[in-house]
Structure 1
Amino acid sequence: MTGPPVRLLVLWCPDWPVVAAAAAAGIAPHVPAAVFSTNRVVARSAVARRSGVRRDMRRREAQSRCPELAVLGVDPDRDARLFEPVAAAVEELIVGVEVVRPGVVAVPVSGASGYFGGEDRLAELLLDHVPAKAGVECQIGVADGLFAALLAAHRSVRVDAGAGAEFLAPLGIGELNQPGSDRTDLVDLLRRLGLRTLGAFAALSERDVTTRFGVVGLVAHRLARGLSDRPPNRRRPPPELSLVERFDDPLDRIDAAAFVARSLAERFHAVLAGSGLACTRLGIEATTANGEELARVWRCAEPLTAPGIADRVRWQFDGWLRAADGIRPTAGVVELRLVPEETVAGRSLQLGLWRGGTGVDGSLDPAGEEQVLAAERAGRALVRVQGLLGPDGVVTAVLAGGRGPAERVRLIPWGDVRPDADEQPWPGRLPAPSPATVYQRRIPVDVRDVSGLAVRLDERNLLTGAPHLASVDGSHPRRVLDWAGPWQVVRRWWARDDGGPFAHMQVLLAAVDEQRVDMAFLLLGRLGDEHNPPQWTIEGKYD
């Protein structure tokens, strides 16, 4: 048993065995049909269900209730073969697809939901895309863990994170007996013991369940509690996908390396694509004629195309061959290795359907194509700069935890995984709205009250006077039209050298003349006393 459940999206095709059997036999959807095993119903169509055909019903009784019922046999190979187009349609949008069984696929949603704009948006895209591509109806559910996500798909609901146990509690105990689980005897015994719901079963202690029902009962008990016994089985790249190229004439010129990189990248990309993979972290390793070993790993924001691989090989050679003395290799490269350090399954590029304009047939219109190409060119340019300046040479900003606006911005190197924004509560956080501009170098400001005295905080953290005039960086004093605060900033209380305590204050300063507008600032003040005057600085500006 492993840790907490992975948040999954499950796509379920109802009554898949009978859907596949009817399709193989050429039976129209309006004809009632059922699949039988050992003369009992194991799956039936919606039309047959409305006629009174039930699961586990004998064939004679089923035909007596529905005389026109089409009788079909069980064929797992047929079900799996006909389900492949459905799995492929899902994989066109999301990587990491796991076929749980014919009729059910599960995928982790942590990355895809952020890419497509949320779990609800992702589900909408799949509900439109899969029927159009595979020609079958489907339902989608999202929850923590495969068991809860599957039951959510049966009801077409999205269960909030951490609410799996509450969702499962009122459901019947028979839900434990999913196809392939072989829990019929356990479910019958639980019913005889009076445990009618998953919540009643989950309320038992794990020790008692294990003692009475063994391993089978323990697994079922974990599922009833909203836990999971394993994450989905993601595909792993085999080691033979690495590509090695040896040269009789050592490569010591950038133009020669660029020529080699193009053909090598196309071969490398074709090998990965042949295995249904795309590279997201590319290892470039080289050996020189003097035996020097060179290596660099390139992390990419999106799966690499063949031109993207060629660009990185060429840029890396450029960095190696033009390095300073003592760092530059002493001989040309005689062996080059491309290693897929990290791969994703599915299509080589998982482009969002919202990128650019689309035509009636779903293809990108010229404006949309130009937008995608421009984004790819910009991405290559940023990686090129990163190759010259190092990984930290190009960064993007993400929201992080903190109380002040400067603390809430975190810089992430281009291509690294962008963490989710920290939305946890922070006591003492500056109230909204946040300033549009946060200064890297704080600007000093002198705040005075109507009597001309410096404004500071007293022992109760209140201002000693209402702000009346403020002089920014020694400029002419400007009238304070309005102000709010102060909000004391509690940080590094354990450090004696923090220079605090501090406080935030918002002020609206009048314009210098009629040609300029009034301006609002966020001030950060270090609280002073009778002997040390307060020091106010401008931390940010509001638009």
Structure 2
Amino acid sequence: MLALWCPDWPAVAAAMAANVPAHLPAAVFAANRVVACSAVARAAGVRRGMRRRDAQSRCPELLVFGTDEGRDARLFEPVAAAVEELVVGVEVVRPGLVAVPVTGAAGYFGGEPELAELLLDQVSSRAGVECQIGIADGLFAATLAAHRSMLVEPGSTAGFLAPLGIHELDEPDTERADLVDLLRRLGLRTLGAFAALTERDVVSRFGSEGLLVHRLARGLSERPPYRRKPPPELSITKELDPPLERIDAAAFVAKTLAETFHAGLAAHGLACTRLGIYAITENGEELSRVWRCAEPLTPQGIADRVRWQFEGWLRSGGPTSGVSVLRLVPEETVEGRSLQLGLWRGGSPGLEDEHADKANRALVRVQGLLGPDSVFTAVLDGGRGPAERVRLVPWGDQRALESPAETPWPARLPRPSPATVFDRARPARVLDRRGVDVEVRRRRQLTAPPKTVVLGGEPRQVLEWAGPWHVSGRWSSSAGDWSRIQVLLAGEPELALLLTRTADENPQWTVEGVYD
């Protein structure tokens, strides 16, 4: 297998999308930590996993970008297309990495070194990006060889892997961090040490997940060859009228097709690990791409890859017209029960599973009638204020945390949070016992204790109050400084409010939220 790897691809793609020159340091952050950085930033001391503050202290001119998987996949399509011009059987593993069967191509071009050199020149001239190539037995070993620009001789893969650190098993798009950490604490520091264990011992201690990574450490493929041919009816074809010409429409179609495609595989006890995406445009152009995945694809994973591929096709200037036919094909399948318990929800569907399926179908139906942005679920994220802590995610999208709640948040509002948070702040007046407006001093203290709050022209007496909590502009998502107080107002019934006062040219009190 030949692996073609573009180093630091998320950072490279972010810089390309923003038209940032390559000589400027750039880094991509998720949850305030570096997930990828350019070679220039790395030379200045920036490393993966580093906090944003530490990274910017080492490299003050560092350009900061957020994660965007769609952007990464869209800009990687020209790279995959450039490789496909020379060899067939190109499979996109993830944005930044493609895999190619090497035997036929190497024989045609005169050998593996010649093929590697041709591909390096091809990607550099056609796509304008730098890449590295590795060849070894199996995708895992080929990827590690690409990180080192090595061509491993056939049959020598186990020896190549043996001295490498056990951390190499923790690849992107896999959830092996806990297993790798456990292996390290057990004293298994290298892949060779782990490979020396017997399969029986590995399965008894680490289960099926341990057996999979044990095969990788030994230089074998992730799974033994699966000889069962997927039934033809598992492929799904959809004629699109009107043709797809917009990314948002493609995303919605992808989500609907992914559910049907995944359900068909599950009914046969299968899960997909290589997804073929084929399209035909109005002008008869045929587009195709195969995505390879380390883990069996979930409905969300299928929808993501279809959406990413459409972004790549539609924005790279490939098709001259809209896509009229879309076909999903399971190029490779594995037994769903043994590799993905979540596919079967731990056993026979119970009452809760049935209700969940009905709710999911109902919400997807609503999205079909009103659009993909008509149904949202809330994700409790990190932040300093109640509005920052709740993020709405469209139904079916990944509910990933962007800002971990356990991270220290200076000037964070103490619990409990208000039950109702207004989209638009409502004006209010806070008065002291003399009827004078209460303000916030420069030393972040109130000019006088609040005695009355006027809401919509109606004054209400303050029974209790707490605060203020001051938030600096450097800690908030909006410019300027502002302060919060909590008040309990007399009346029938009593009313507890969260009030906010800005420190701009026209400071005023507003009602940010209401407590139950």
TM (norm. structure 2) is 0.45
Larger radius of gyration: 1
TM (norm. structure 1) is 0.42
